[in-house]
Amino acid sequence: QVQLVESGGGLVQAGGSLRLSCAASGRTFDSIAMGWFRQARGKEREFVAVINGSGARADYADSVKGRFTISRDNAKNTMYLLMNSLKPEDTAVYYCAAERDAYPLLHRARDEYNYWGQGTQVTVSS
């Protein structure tokens, strides 16, 4: 059974940093794109970042570009999201997700992802 487990969330002041982790189990994802999404209270779940299977390519939402960095360690079956210069508007539950199959394109749409973690809360105080 595939499981994705996020960790690393918490409370941080504006301008601070956090690093989220997503540990995968049940299968290997070294050829599969994985991504981060977030959902603020009362809002739709939105795309944050995606990384391809090898880690060579990534795509970011405009709102986080230049501040967040997605990476992965396939030997550990783990993906990361380093978040710098955090803003109050980054406050949300952050979810990691993985596709089932390998594709050449990087996807931003939620529907392209088959596996989801339970989420980790990130709160940025002003």
* Burial class (CB within 10 angstroms; exposed 0-12, middle 13-18, buried 19+) of 26: exposed
pLDDT value at residue 104? 87
pLDDT digits (tens, 9 = 90+) for 77-120: 999 999 999 999 999 999 999 999 888 899 999 999 999 999 99
pLDDT digits (tens, 9 = 90+) for 26-48: 998 989 999 999 999 999 999 99
| Whole-number Å distance between alpha carbons of 96 and 5 | 8
